[in-house]
Structure 1
Amino acid sequence: MSQTLDSKPTHTAHPAFQASAQLGKHLQQMLVDLTDLHLQAKQLHWNVVGKNFRDTHLVLDEVVDAARGFSDDIAERMRAVYATPDARSKTVAAQSSLPEIPNDEIDTADTVDAIVASLYATAGTARRIHDDVDAEDPTSADMLHAILERIEQLAWLIDSENRVANSSIPRQV
């Protein structure tokens, strides 16, 4: 650091890697969707009612925990590669690619459908940006792998609540 009498201290970093605008944009979209996912899961957690309430109520907190953890990981990765994360409420509201959820009481079966749709939308974002992210920054792509593994696992586990054996779509390949 150097400083003159008339100026603020200056600091020059020499990172080995800096995110391009495209990488920053992709990670920002992942951050927004993960942030919205944890907010949606908590909203549903508070308002779910009906059969199998307790299990549904509890699994929604698993979604909250996963989404919050992953959103923090993505935001910190963004800072590590000199991109600036923005998960302010107005940004999340404007940029989320997740479907809307109800703001009132919601039956457990409808809750399952709503959170699964949001989980798959979040996974869809990770899959859509993956190849571009991997081409520029395999480390960030590895984070997307972890997100996909857990988010798709949660979607499968929760969706199974509404499945009908040998009749639900998609069918096993």
Structure 2
Amino acid sequence: MAAITGSLRQGEKKAVAEALQGALIDMIDLSLLGKQAHWNVIGHHFRPLHLQLDEIVALAREHTDVMAERAVALGLNPDGRAATVARASELPQLELGWINDGKVVAALTDVLEGIVKRMRERVRATEEPDPVTQDLLIKATQDLEKQHWMMQAQR
């Protein structure tokens, strides 16, 4: 496939591929964790958390597609298979069953904090080799930081 990859040197291409693949894994697993929490949250703050979790899932799915499409535009192959996500995800998993609203807030605050930290590393890693990818990562990080702030405010 003829793509923009000609403008990226091999080392640059590797750094960009790792950043995009890592972001893809984080976004896919965030969408899954968000839905798991959405279905199982209980407590006095059920309704607002239920709605906020849908917002988190929607933004994760949007950025999943953006990261995967950027990879393809660069001639890279995104890997969003369930086995790959399960093997590569760094996100802590939620407990099984009903989850009290306070535990959901604590868990998602921590999950989002970890993703934001990794996204900021990806932003730095792509600054030099591919500012376009960096821009996409910055936008995703901005959205994630907003959700982190909104979730953390409920602690």
| TM-score, normalised via structure 1 length | 0.83
1:20 aligns with 2:13: yes
The Cα offsets for residues 37-78 of structure 1, whole Å up to 9 and x where unpaired, read as 010000000000011110011100000000000010000000
| Aligned counterparts of 2:95 and 2:74: Cα–Cα separation in 1 | 37
| More helix by percentage | 2
Q: Judge conservation of contact 1:77–1:140 (CA < 8 Å) in 2.
A: yes
Q: Could you tell me which amino acid in structure 2 is paired with residue 55 of structure 1?
A: P
1:92 aligns with 2:85: yes
1:130 aligns with 2:123: yes
Q: Could you tell me which amino acid in structure 2 is paired with residue 144 of structure 1?
A: L
Residue in structure 1 matched with residue 28 of structure 2 by the alignment: 35
| Aligned counterparts of 2:3 and 2:47: Cα–Cα separation in 1 | 51
Give the alignment of 1:43-62 within 5 angstroms. 43-62=36-55
Could you tell me which runs of 5 or more consecutive residues in structure 2 were left unpaired when the two chains were aligned.
none
Residue in structure 1 matched with residue 57 of structure 2 by the alignment: 64
Aligned residues between the structures: 151
Determine which of 151, 160, 163 is the counterpart of 2:144: 151
| Aligned counterparts of 1:103 and 1:135: Cα–Cα separation in 2 | 42
Q: Percent identity?
A: 33
Residue in structure 2 matched with residue 73 of structure 1 by the alignment: 66
The Cα offsets for residues 140-165 of structure 1, whole Å up to 9 and x where unpaired, read as 00111111111011111111111xxx
Bigger relative contact order (CA 8 A; separation at least 6): 2
Runs of 4 or more off by more than 4 Å in structure 1? none
| Aligned counterparts of 2:73 and 2:147: Cα–Cα separation in 1 | 28
| Aligned counterparts of 1:112 and 1:52: Cα–Cα separation in 2 | 10
Q: Judge conservation of contact 1:78–1:84 (CA < 8 Å) in 2.
A: yes
1:104 aligns with 2:97: yes
| Aligned counterparts of 1:51 and 1:81: Cα–Cα separation in 2 | 47
- How far 1:14 moved relative to its partner? 5.8
1:141 aligns with 2:134: yes
| Aligned counterparts of 1:76 and 1:14: Cα–Cα separation in 2 | 12
Could you tell me which runs of 5 or more consecutive residues in structure 1 were left unpaired when the two chains were aligned.
1-11, 163-173
Q: Judge conservation of contact 2:3–2:75 (CA < 8 Å) in 1.
A: no
| TM-score, normalised via structure 2 length | 0.92
Over 3 Å counting, the alpha-carbon distance change for 1:152 and 1:126 in structure 2 is same
The RMSD of aligned alpha carbons is 1.4
Larger Rg: 1
